[in-house]
Amino acid sequence: MMTALRLNLSPLREPLGFIKVLEWLAAIFAFGSCGAYVGRTVVSVLCSEGKNETLSATFSYPFRLSQVPLVSENTTLCNRTVAETHLVGDSASSVQFFVAIGVLAFLYCMAALLIYLGYMHVYRDSDFGPILDFLMTVVFAFFWLVCSSAWARGLQTVKDATSTAGIRATLALCREPGVACEVTEFAPTRSLNVSVVFGYLNMMIWAGNAWFAYKETRWHAQRNSAQHGAGRGPVPAPI
């Protein structure tokens, strides 16, 4: 078996290679749109004395909100001493899982494209390569579904914790008579929403690619052979 590199760009014109490029790009958009996120929420505290206070909380990936201070230690607000207060929630596990799957998918796509473009003759001459590729494609489709669902739930936790209702539930001062709290500047979540959308898009692309990867395996070839053999029927005996 010849294992030397044979550069051939024709697989990019086939569904197997073209979809792998789409998966590579979609993975970049998925983990890139949330992995470098930094957001800031501004809260206005309206006191009965007519004095207004302003609080802010800056949070970023991996969204361990319970470590983000909303009020520094022993701060005076509305003529009251307020103890140190942090935001509520921790979405680190879900978003780190999401980013990890994105990075692994990105790396796998690069390795697969290298094989398609340089070693397709080896890939198609063996059973191991196509079967492994098919199984990995199915696994990634499943994990994209799981991690996207987990991160969508984690993102909702972030939105709830930084909403007006979430701030009022977190900061005891907001529940005292004569004090009103309102979020006046919400942290933008557009890029985080985009990451969830690309997560589910990755799941659909990988699930669709599973069929083309399956067609390269011997399982598909054996099934076609069996169907063609059954379709021909018995050979009639000579008269």
Backbone angles phi, psi at 223, to 5 degrees: -65, -40
- Greater confidence (183 vs 232) lies with 183
Please report how the helices 190-215 and 128-161 are oriented relative to each other, as an axis angle in degrees rounded to 10. 160
Give residues with Cβ within 8 angstroms of 183, minimum separation 6.
Answer: 41, 42, 43, 44, 162, 163, 164, 167
DSSP H helical ranges for 119-127: 120-124
Per-residue pLDDT tens for 123-157? Answer: 888 888 889 999 999 999 999 999 999 999 999 99
pTM for the whole structure: 0.86
Tell me: pLDDT of 214 over 50.
yes
Q: What is the CB-side half-sphere exposure of residue 238 using CA atoms within 13 A?
A: 0
Q: What is the pLDDT of residue 194?
A: 97
Q: What is the pLDDT of residue 234?
A: 52
The predicted model gives 68-80 an average pLDDT of 87
